[in-house]
Amino acid sequence: MKRFSSIALGALLASGITSVAVAAPWAEADDIYLRISIQQLADAGYLRGTVNTYPLMWSGIARDLREINPGWLDDSELFAYYRVRAALQFAQQSQVSRVRLSANSDEERLQSFGDSYHEKGAFTASRSFQWEHSAARIQTSFRSGSSDDKSYIFDGSYLATTLGNWALSADQMPVWWGPGQDSALVLSTNARPVQALRINRLRDDASSLPLLSLAGNWHATAFVGRTQRAGELGDIQMGGVRLSIRPARFIELGASYTAQWGGSSHPQNLTLDDNTGNQMGGVDVRFSLSSNLGVYSELASSESELDDLALLVGADFSFSSPQRLQQVFTEYSDTPAAFYDDERDPAGYRRWQQSIGSTHDQHVQSLVVGYRNHAATGEGWQTRLLFAEYGDTNLYMANEYSLNPGENIERLQFDIKYQRPFGDTLFGLGVELYSDELIAPTLGERKKRENGFNLMTSWEFRF
């Protein structure tokens, strides 16, 4: 019992400072350490629902946590249990305020799960409220040095209420669909979120109907929104739907679909024909091989690349001591040329030149190896090694280096990010080091090498 109490106290302290589940009906897509703990409990079979769709509803998790006896758990699972339980308790507070300062030496253009570096500097303030059946947050960021030239934004704001077993919201929330750790092919947090009307199934209980019950616990979400003049065609409408099921403890399946339509000189109604641009479809699966080990994959197709699929595969392994959670993972992705392009829309499947899907945009093969370490005190650090080859239609690299047809960029990148609580505040520091080599394969030569770095720092206070 003493061991349980010490872990619980540490997890509560860490959650009170670092949890992003602030007075909300969901866990958000910006706390990788919380996600690891949720996934570990799901891999062990203690969480019965689906966990690869973010924002992730708390209802099903709360149901399953109430049924767990901590005496059943080993050290690794026990850390995860108290981490998730503490985050849920923090999310149930009626009011929470937050201020955050961040500064970066360069605008970060490649965002993975949990990253939020869309500008060189920002001051963010928010106030969250929660009532019996509703929740709201007003969040404003004042910023500088961003590619969208927006001096203030309302990303992270929402107004949500429940209707039966469904949550309805008007929001501008970051979204992550799929099991990927470094990237997601259909919807990720790489680009800023759209303004949307959204519906989420609250509790992911299995159906009582004979055939449908075979699908096990299931979750559905759908949204319709707009991209806020993020491209040359002005306001583009966007909609999407995702269904995920868990027919057995060791497997979770998901299917996603999104479409964009409208904009100047384009039809304003969704017709699902040649007038609808950037239709994306994807399927994903995660197998839990043990309570600590999982493998996953995602396949996606786009309207512009119907004959060439995008692929993502990965594996992760978690291990813990009573006071520390650790994870190693590796992930490979291959996204075809022109996958996110659209001949009717110069911006394609992007917002302010950042892919709505893959972290690395298109025409790229990437391999990532990462390690994460999180203590019950709230201290944590993570590191990542990236190997990637970007082709000449990769918008990010083409703009960076003005690539000619047939040229590509080979990148080697190393990241390390650290966070540490000080009193009631959280301090973060990170550095990214990269080396890019420009190659002209047709000429058989390596033309030049460029090295660079990005420093990131943040300070956050919640009260």
pLDDT digits (tens, 9 = 90+) for 127-155: 999 888 899 999 999 988 887 778 889 99
Asked whether residue 9 is assigned to any structural domain, the reply reads: no
Q: What pLDDT score was predicted for residue 266?
A: 55
pLDDT for the residue numbered 16: 39
Q: How confident is the model over 151-186, as pLDDT tens digits?
A: 889 999 999 999 999 999 999 999 999 999 999 999
| Amino acid at position 57, single letter | M
Residue 48 has pLDDT above 70, yes or no: yes
Residue type, 115: D
2 falls within a domain: no
- Specify whether the CB–CB gap between 414 and 439 falls below 8 A: no
Q: What ranges in 297-402 are assigned the alpha helix state H?
A: 395-401
Domain count, the chain: 1
The CATH number given to whatever domain includes residue 454 is 2.40.160.130
Residue 13 lies in a domain: no
Q: What is the pLDDT of residue 440?
A: 81
Residue 104 confidence (pLDDT) above 80: yes
pLDDT (tens digit per residue) in 361-392: 999 999 999 999 998 888 999 999 999 999 98
Q: Is pLDDT at 19 greater than 50 in this prediction?
A: no
Instruction: Give the confidence band of 10 by pLDDT, cuts at 50, 70, 90.
Output: very low
- Reported confidence tier of residue 356, pLDDT bands at 50, 70, 90: very high
Give how far Cα 259 sits from Cα of 29, 343, 392, Å.
21, 15, 25
Q: Is residue 394 part of a domain?
A: yes
Specify whether the CB–CB gap between 107 and 145 falls below 8 A: yes
Inside any domain, residue 19: no
> What is the average pLDDT across 264-289?
73
Residue percentage of the chain with pLDDT more than 90: 55
Q: What are phi and psi of 21, to 5 degrees?
A: -80, 75
Q: Quote the tokens at residue 113.
A: 């799960």
pLDDT for 235 equals 80
The DSSP line for 34-101 is HHHHHHHHHHTTS--S--SEESEEHHHHHHHHTT--GGG--HHHHHHHHHHHHHHHHHT-SEEEEEEE
CB 282, CB 250: distance < 8 Å: no
Indicate whether 411 belongs to any domain.
Answer: yes
Q: Which two tokens stand for residue 363?
A: 């025409």
Report helix, strand or coil for 366: strand
pLDDT at 387: 96
Stated as kind and residue range, the H or E segment containing 318 is strand 305-321
Q: What is the DSSP string of 180-243?
A: -SS--SSS-SSSPPPEEEEEEES--PPPSSTTGGGGBEEEEEEEEEE--S-STT---EEEEEEE
Q: Give the whole-angstrom CA distance, residue 333 versus residue 368.
A: 9
Helix axes of 75-91 and 2-18: crossing angle, nearest 10 degrees: 50
pLDDT given at position 449: 83
Domain that holds residue 41: 26-263+277-462
The predicted model gives 28-54 an average pLDDT of 93
Is 433 domain-assigned? yes
Structural domain contains residue 198: yes
What does the pLDDT read at residue 417?
A: 94
Residue 273 has pLDDT above 90, yes or no: no
Can you read off the two tokens belonging to residue 108? 């970060």
| pLDDT tens string 174-230 | 999 999 999 999 999 999 999 999 999 999 998 888 888 889 999 999 999 988 777
* CA separation for the pair 339, 362 (Å, rounded): 6
Joined tokens for residue 13: 């302290």
Task: Provide the 8-state DSSP code for 342.
Answer: B
Interval 396-433: pLDDT, tens: 888 788 888 888 999 999 999 999 998 889 999 999 99
Which DSSP state fits 1?
Answer: -
Cα 115 to Cα 110, 175, 252, 456: the distances in Å are: 9, 12, 25, 11
Distance CA 194, CA 44 (A): 34
HEC assignment per residue over 387-406: EEEECCCCHHHHHHHCCCCC
d(CA 253, CA 299): 12
d(CA 437, CA 432): 17
Nearest-angstrom CA–CA distance, 103 and 101? 7
Find tokens 């958000």 and name the residue: 28
- pLDDT digits 0-9 by tens, 252-271: 999 999 999 877 655 555 55
- Distance (Å, whole) CA 5 – CA 109: 42
Question: pLDDT class for 236, splitting at 50, 70, 90?
Answer: confident
Mean pLDDT (the chain, rounded) = 86
Strand partners, 257: 241, 281
Other C-beta atoms lying within 10 Å of the C-beta of residue 360: 26
Q: How far is CA 20 from CA 12, 87, 221, 461, in A?
A: 13, 8, 21, 12
Amino acid at 255: A
pLDDT (0 to 100) of residue 67: 92
| Dist CA 433 CA 56 (whole Å) | 32
Higher pLDDT, 63 or 400: 63
The DSSP H or E segment spanning 9 is helix 2-18
Stretch 81-97: mean pLDDT, rounded? 88
- Residue 268 has a pLDDT of 53
